[in-house]
Amino acid sequence: MNRGPYIFLGAFALLAFSWTAAILANQLGYGTLTPHYDAMEGKSFPAPQPGIVARGAMVYTDLGCAACHTQQVRRADLGGDLTRGWGERASVARDYLHEKTVQLGHNRIGPDLRNVGARYESPEDFYQLLYAPEQALPGSNMPAYRFLFEESKISGERSKDALDVAVAPGYQVIPTERARSLVAYLSYLEDVYAYPETQYVYPEKEASDDAAAEEEGQ
Ligand code: HEC
C-alpha cells in the first residue's frame, strides 16, 4: 500500500497546526497592539525610544547581558518579583512595543532589569557598577565591563565626564560612546505607566502587599 499521501497529509497537518498555534494565534492576539494614548497627559505610552536608547539596547544585546538578567516582572501569583522590588506591576506585552529585540532572557543569575532605571538615581551609579561591580555590589559575580571605558592622561583640566574611581595620579577614566548608550538604555528601563490591561487584569500591588504582610507575620 502506498502510504505516501497519508505521511504527507500528516506532516502537513502537523505543520499547519503548529503554525496556527505558534504564529497566527500570537499575531491575532498581539499583532495589533499599539501604544496607549493618554488624553490627560497628552502623550502615548510606552514612550518612544530616543536614538541613544535604541543604540544602548543593541549594546545590551551585543554584550550578552541577557545571559544573566531577565527583563520581565512576573505577576504576584507567579513569584516574588514584586516583593523583591523589581517593579510596581507585572510586565505586559505593550511594555515591549518599541523594543526591536525583546531581551526577556531566561536565566536569573542577577536581578531582573526591567525597572532598573527606577532603582538607580544617576548615570554615574551605572558607570560605577559597570566599571567596578565588586565595589558597587560587594561579593557579586556581576562581571566588570572595563572595556567600555577609556583611561586617558589628564591634559589641562580633568574631564567633567570622568568617573569617580581610583586611577594612577594624572589619569582619568571616561565612558566610551557604547557605555553612554548602554547607560541611557538602562536608565530608560522603567515601566510605571498603568495601562488599562494592567489595572483590571492583574491587581498586583494589593496582592504583593498581602504577600509581604504574610511574610512579615511568619
Ligand atoms: C555572569 C552573569 C552576569 C552578566 C553577564 C551580567 N550581569 Fe549584571 N549582575 C549579575 C549579578 C549576579 C548581579 C547582582 C549582584 C548583587 O546584587 O550582588 C548583577 C547586577 C547588575 C545590576 C544591578 C541591578 C540591581 O537591581 O541593583 C545591573 C544594573 C546590571 N547587573 C547590569 C548588567 C549589564 C548592563 C550587563 C551587560 C553589559 C550585565 N549586567 C551582565 C550578573 C551578571
Supply the pLDDT for residue 96. Answer: 94
Q: How confident is the model at residue 197 (pLDDT cuts 50, 70, 90)?
A: confident
C-beta of 68 in contact with ligand 1 (< 6 A):
yes
Count Cα atoms within 13 angstroms, Cβ side, for 151: 10
Count Cα atoms within 13 angstroms, Cβ side, for 93: 10
Supply the pLDDT for residue 200. Answer: 57
63: left (phi over 0), alpha (psi -120 to 50) or beta: alpha
Supply the pLDDT for residue 209. Answer: 53
Kindly report the protein residue whose alpha carbon is nearest to atom 33 of ligand 1. 65
Q: How confident is the model at residue 49 (pLDDT cuts 50, 70, 90)?
A: very high
Q: What is the mean pLDDT of the chain?
A: 89
Distance set, CA 195 to CA 94, 190, 202, 215 (Å): 8, 14, 11, 29
Supply the pLDDT for residue 21. Answer: 92
C-beta of 109 in contact with ligand 1 (< 6 A):
yes
Kindly report the protein residue whose alpha carbon is nearest to atom 39 of ligand 1. 65
C-alpha cell at 160: 567633567
C-alpha cell at 17: 497546526
Do residues 123 and 164 lie in contact, with contact meaning Cβ atoms separated by under 8 Å? no
Look at residue 210 and tell me whether its pLDDT is greater than 70: no
**pLDDT tens for residues 126-144?**
999 999 999 989 988 899 9
Do residues 81 and 204 lie in contact, with contact meaning Cβ atoms separated by under 8 Å? no
Can you tell me the distance from the alpha carbon of 193 to that of 115, in angstroms, rounded to the nearest whole number?
12
**pLDDT tens for residues 156-194?**
898 999 999 888 899 999 999 999 999 999 999 999 898
Surface-to-core class of residue 206, CB atoms within 10 Å of its CB (0-12 exposed, 13-18 middle, 19+ buried): exposed
